[in-house]
Amino acid sequence: MASPQLDLAALLPRELVAELLALARARGAEFAEVFGEHTVHTAFSLEEGRLKTSQYSVTQGVGVRAIRGEQTGYAYADGFAAPDLREAARVAGRIARDGAPDPDPGAPSVSAPTGAGRPGARAPRAFRVVDAPAPFALVSPAPVALDEAGKVALLRRADDAARAHDPRIHEVAATLADAAKSFVVANSDGLWAEDRQYLTRLSVAAYASAGDQRQQGFAAGGGSVEADYFERVRPPEAVAREAAGTAVTLLGAKDPEAGAYPVVLAPGWGGVLVHECFGHGMEGDVIRKQTSIRATQQGQQVAARGVTIVDSGVVPYSRGSFRVDDEGTPARRTVLVEDGILVGYLWDLLNARLTGNSPTGNGRRSSYRDFPLCRMTNTYIEAGPHDPAELIASVKRGLYCKNLGGGSVNPADGNFSFQVTEACRIEDGKLTYPVRNATLTGNGNDAMLKIDAVANDLVVDGTTGSCGKDGQWKPVGVGQPTVRFTDITVGGTAT
């Protein structure tokens, strides 16, 4: 089984943390923060019916942040040795003062992010513990309740089920990766917060062939879940059959008709379009710096009437959920767009202070080696009033997108392109033949204005998403109900 998590409060007693904060502020920093972490990671992969890789690793150490005026300093030490932590605090303070560390080849690793700000200077305060309710409770978290043999057994069950689904499945790749994380965060405003977070993801890629045709299907399960999730909620057989079914379906699929016409996006993972095209422009750093078009749109209509967009860190059992963020701010539900009107933004601690706002629980970092950034959690379109079948039945000629794959968005102009991994042609209000190799292109600034119907079948997919920003990756959830767009440009071969 995974090794037991360390008691970080014992490794980082409050007296030592207070000393580190004082050292970080000793050269004039107005704000300081200490973040300690211990995370156990395991990962197993099965290919060609055999266990191909088995990984076990531990991430542990402490990062210190110091802020003075427009300059931020960040330094970290691997491990918990007090002399190393003190030096990391001194280095962070020196960066905040001078913009660069003093030459010292023996000092801990350092990082000096740009774009720092000036929170109001305050006298040090006594620590107060953040008492935030947990959005959900795990009795037997999968990463620590399942032993190595149990995790590999899940992969073997997935492999068997995918191969048994159809004789055209010729290869299967299954992976299970998890993490058990403990952290402590404290700052010079007197905040003290601790949390434990657990993530597990089981993914299956199935490959089908017929003649000269080769197709792939992908499916996943997991989140912040109990060990019995893989028996009670989403067994590995269900994940495998979904992946294999997609691969087989795509063997008989046709290329799409190119053009701009109505598109219906299925519930769940289709919300990645909202995440990429809309969510990133609502994060506090780009709002403060006025590099997002959304910075000047508060109170304006940015989506169709009837569209409400939310970012919430309290969705039960999702990868993007937690009790407190990586700055110790309690998770919460934040409404970004209400009935088409932009009403709010996402804030981490620093950017909230600089703009006179309150943090929304969106300060997140990859590990103690990274300074926190403003990041999304679970971003989704809320349910509407319509029956999902209505949205398809009223389309004479269009495309139903069951699943989206990779995509890209240009932050400068908002133009996007997404691969559609599984789709179906709509003709006279009915789903006809499967479609492959389709792409959706458009502009994120007006795509949400083209929504003309929102169904009542909201699904938040918190099983597999990861979001990258400035070199840091964090788990997220995305979601939506069935949504219909009046038109999106579909790339493909004209018929």
Distance CA 481, CA 171 (A): 33
As given in the structure block, the two tokens for residue 309 are 């967009």
CA distance 313 to 333: 6
Number of Cβ within 10 Å of residue 139's Cβ equals 8
C-alpha–C-alpha distance, residues 245 and 319, integer Å: 25
With respect to residue 243, please indicate whether it lies within any of the assigned structural domains: no
H or E stretch covering 13: none
The Cα 474–Cα 217 span in angstroms is: 24
Which of 73, 95, 129 is where one domain is finished? 129
pLDDT of residue 112: 42
C-alpha to C-alpha distance for 86 and 228, rounded to whole angstroms: 43
pLDDT tens digit sequence for 249-296:
999 999 999 999 999 999 999 999 999 888 999 999 999 999 998 999
What are the tens digits of pLDDT across the range 83-121? 999 999 999 999 998 765 544 544 555 444 433 333 443
The single-letter code of the amino acid at 492 is G
pLDDT at 117: 37
Residue with tokens 């790749």: 173
Helix (H) or strand (E) holding 52: strand 50-68
For residue 242, give the nearest of 261, 264, 223, 216 by alpha carbon: 216
Token pair in block for residue 421: 């991994």
* 109, 129, 149 - which closes a domain: 129
Write out pLDDT tens, residues 295-307: 999 999 999 999 9
Residue 146 located in a structural domain: no
**What's the pLDDT at 122?**
42
From CA 179, how far away is CA 182, in angstroms rounded? 10
Q: Is 237 helix (H, G, I), strand (E, B) or coil?
A: helix
The closest of 277, 263, 266 to 491, measured between CA atoms, is 263
Q: Taking the CB of residue 446, how many other CB atoms lie within 10 A of it? A: 12
DSSP lists the bridge partners of residue 455 as 386
Residue 337 lies in a domain: yes
Q: What is the pTM of this model?
A: 0.92
Is position 361 within any domain?
yes
- Written as tens digits, the pLDDT of the chain (495 aa) is 444 567 888 899 999 999 999 999 999 999 999 999 999 999 999 999 999 999 999 999 999 999 987 789 999 999 999 999 999 999 999 999 876 554 454 455 544 443 333 344 344 578 999 999 999 999 999 999 999 999 999 999 999 999 999 999 999 999 999 999 999 999 999 999 999 999 999 999 999 999 999 999 999 999 999 999 999 999 999 999 999 999 999 999 999 999 999 999 999 999 999 998 889 999 999 999 999 989 999 999 999 999 999 999 999 999 999 999 999 999 999 999 999 999 999 999 999 989 999 999 999 999 999 999 999 999 999 999 999 999 999 999 999 999 998 777 776 677 899 999 999 999 999 999 999 999 999 998 889 999 999 999 999 999 999 999 999 999 999 999 999 999 999 997 544
Residue 360 within any structural domain of the chain: yes
* Residue 208 covered by a domain: no
What is the predicted pLDDT for the residue at 4?
Answer: 53
* φ, ψ for residue 222, nearest 5 deg: 135, -150
**Within the chain, what is the greatest distance between any pair of CA atoms?**
73
Which of 129, 150, 168 is the C-terminal boundary of a domain? 129
Smallest Cα–Cα separation from 283: which of 358, 372, 381, 351? Answer: 351
Structure tokens at 132: 């935030």
pLDDT of residue 125: 75
Contacts of 57 (CB under 8 A, 6+ apart): 40, 41
**pLDDT for the residue numbered 118:** 37
**What per-residue confidence (pLDDT) applies to 108?**
52
* 325 closest CA partner among 358, 372, 287, 379: 372
What token pair was written down for 121? 């200077």
Q: Which residues pair with 261 in a beta bridge?
A: 488
- What is the reported pLDDT for 258? 94
What is the pairing mode between strands 466-469 and 415-427?
unpaired
What is the pLDDT, as a whole number, of residue 369? Answer: 98
- Number of domain units in the chain: 2
Tell me which amino acid residue 116 is: A
**CB within 8 A of 238, min separation 6: which ones?**
221
Q: Is residue 285 assigned to a domain?
A: yes
Is residue 230 situated within a structural domain? no
Instruction: Identify the domain containing residue 263 by its residue range.
Output: 259-491
- What is the pLDDT at residue 110? 47
pLDDT of residue 123: 47
